[in-house]
Structures are given as C-alpha cells and as structure tokens.
Structure 1
Amino acid sequence: MDKNWWDYQVPLDCSWYWKRLVAVKDAFKAKTDLSKFAVMSWSKIVWERLSIPKHRFVLWLVMLQRLRTRDQLHKFQPLMDQSCLLCGGDIESIGHLFLHCHYSSVCLQKLKQRLGWNSASLNLMLLIRWIHKAKRLSVVRKSIMYAVLAALVYHLWRVRNDVFWSNKLWHVDNTVQRVVREIQVRISLVMPKKAKAIDREWVTKFSKS
C-alpha cells in the first residue's frame, strides 16, 4: 500500500474510520496534480503501522501543507491575528508549529529524552530523515519513533485547536503524557511478537521515564 497509496481501493470489510480516510484521499486526488507528489520520501513514514490512524491523517495533512494554520487563514481574513496560539511569538505556520514553536520544541525535547534521542534538530522532515538513515536503530525502534512524532504532531494540533476554540492551553507535561499514553496502548496492540528483549526494555524505559 505504501507505494500505491493514490491507487489504493478500500476493502469492504475495513473500519468506517479507514473508509473515511481513503475517501478523503480520493477527494484530494481528484482535485490535485499528483505528478508533483511522484516521489513521496515520507509516505511510508506517514502510513507506518505502529502509528495510530488519526495521527497518520493529521501528519499526512502536515506533509501536504494542508492544515489551516493562522497564516493560511489570514489569506481569507486579512484582519486575523497571525501570531502562534501556543507561544504568542512568531507567525503561526505549519513550519513554525511543527516544531519550531517554543511550546512544541519543549514537548519534543521531553519526548527525545524518553527515547534517548540525541538529534538537536527541530525540523520535522530532518527528524524523519534522521530516523530513516540511523543505521544503529532496529526496525522496531524506528517504527516507534515515527509513531511518537506522528502522535506529537496530532496532539500539538489538538492543543492549538483547544486554544483557538476554548482559549485553553494544556501544560506541556500534560501534552507529553497524552502522547506517551497513546503510544503505550498502541504498542501493546501491535508490537511485533519477535521484538528483541533489548527493544522491549527500551520501550519500558520510554513508558516509565
């Protein structure tokens, strides 16, 4: 499915959520010139099996630059304040929100500490590329790191929307714990049975740090 996502047809026996996700894909395909997406260096990462479907969807929209951040909304509402809803500093764009915003970067750093991840980058694509090229990481660890990034992107967008609609900003630790809890549950459901003991220990450390 990774290589033929645009031509993928949904089976009849899948979940309603997956059917809806594929319907969005089909609608996007009908309105878009796909030639510029011929090489999808990030497609396999977005559709990583360990990632939660709702996280995959938001990450996919981020990669396609399709989220309605304030800089995008400003084009239709010129009087709208463009400042970031999470940090109040720079203009809220996809690049800023994921992951250069101070709030976002603090969440990222806390998750990196749990993962034992030494990369200093705050660029989402560079982080994804780092994982892809890391030769010392097992397949299991790479999958979990991809899933953590997708979960972080999803929850940052959720936090941002809570501020936008309810004027409520979650504490950084609350956001990080939400990411960790969801990844814990996901791992318990789809963790490869043949995962090595050293990887299982690493997962335990991530969950309890």
Structure 2
Amino acid sequence: MEILDRLPTSDRLQRLRLGVDQQCLLCGDGIESRDHLFSKCAHSKQIWSSILQMCSIERDALVWNAELQWLCANLKGKSLLVFSLKLAWSTFVYHVWEERNRRKFCSVARSGDSLLHCIREDVKIRVQIKPIVILDVNRQLCVAWGIP
C-alpha cells in the first residue's frame, strides 16, 4: 500500500475533502504524506539512518522514490546483508506506520530509539529462523543486529 501511495495519510484524506489535521504526528513539522512520513520526517529519517549504519552502509537518506529505486537496484542476491536490509526496510515501514497510528488513535508515543529496538528485534528473530552460515564477512553485521 505504501509503494502505491494508498495509505490513508492526512494529505490523501484532505484531498478526499475529509477535514483532518495535516501536521505530521511523528515530528510535528510538515504535512503528513507518504513521502514525508517515510523519508523526510526527522523522526523516521533518524531511524532509517541508524538502520543503514547498522548495515555499514554510508549514504544519505533520500526522498521516497529515490530511496525505493536504490533499494530495488541494490537488494539483489542472497547475502545476509541483502536479506537483513530487506527485512529492515519492511519492518521500518511497518513500525513507522504503526507508530503514526498509535499516536493518532491511542495518544501513545514511543521514541525513535524504541522503534529502532523493535525493528532490530524483528530482523533478529527473522534472520535466526532462516538457516544461514555466518561467515567472517558477516560478523560485523551480526553484531550490529544482535544475531548470535
């Protein structure tokens, strides 16, 4: 849904003439849209930058479409890094959207570090389920994600 820009973000709801507050619930700065929520929001940007750092990838987070193109171009193959980054991306999108909904409907907020911890745990559990051989090349990645 997020790839097709079908999430009910406040900018989409406003276009449907539903009177909603358009302010981003995560950072309080900017209009909540898919692009803002997942790539421009300071809260989300910090989390995604931390994920990239845990994968030893040095690059600036870009706008949504550019980030998606980069992921599609680079997430090929069966390496542990590719597998972990695919999991991290999907759990990142899931947890950011979940956090947005928690704040909107339950008035409960978690910190970026708390969300990063949830993402890290999800990736760790899913990687541990998959039978993999941890090579020396992957040791740093395993340490960063807490994979034994």
TM-score, normalised via structure 2 length: 0.86
Report the counterpart of residue 119 of structure 1 in structure 2. 59
Higher deviation after alignment, 148-157 or 106-115 = 106-115
Which ranges in structure 2 are unaligned for 5 or more consecutive residues?
none
Q: Which runs of 5+ in 1 are unaligned?
A: 1-60
2:104 pairs with 1:164: yes
Counterpart mapping for 1:1-209 below 5 A:
61-134=1-74, 139-191=79-131, 193-194=132-133, 196-199=135-138, 201-208=139-146
Alignment length (residue pairs): 146
> Is the CA contact (8 Å cut-off) linking 2:56 and 2:141 kept in structure 1?
no
Larger gyration radius, structure 1 or structure 2: 1
Shift in Å, 1:154: 0.4
What residue identity is the alignment partner of 2:124? Q
1:144: Cα distance to partner?
1.4
User: C-alpha distance in 2, partners of 1:123/1:170?
Assistant: 24
Q: Compute the RMSD of aligned alpha carbons.
A: 2.3
Aligned counterparts of 2:110 and 2:104: Cα–Cα separation in 1: 12
> Are residues 141 and 173 of structure 1, via their aligned partners in 2, closer, same or farther at CA, if it must alter by over 3 Å?
same
Given that residues 74 and 80 in structure 1 are in contact (C-alpha distance below 8 angstroms), is that contact kept between their aligned partners in structure 2?
Answer: yes
CA shift, 1:134, in A, is 4.4
- Rounded to whole Å, the distance in 2 between the matches of 1:125 and 1:166 is 30
| More displaced 10-residue stretch of structure 1: 99-108 or 110-119 | 110-119
Q: Hey, which bits of structure 1, 4+ residues long, moved more than 6 A? A: none
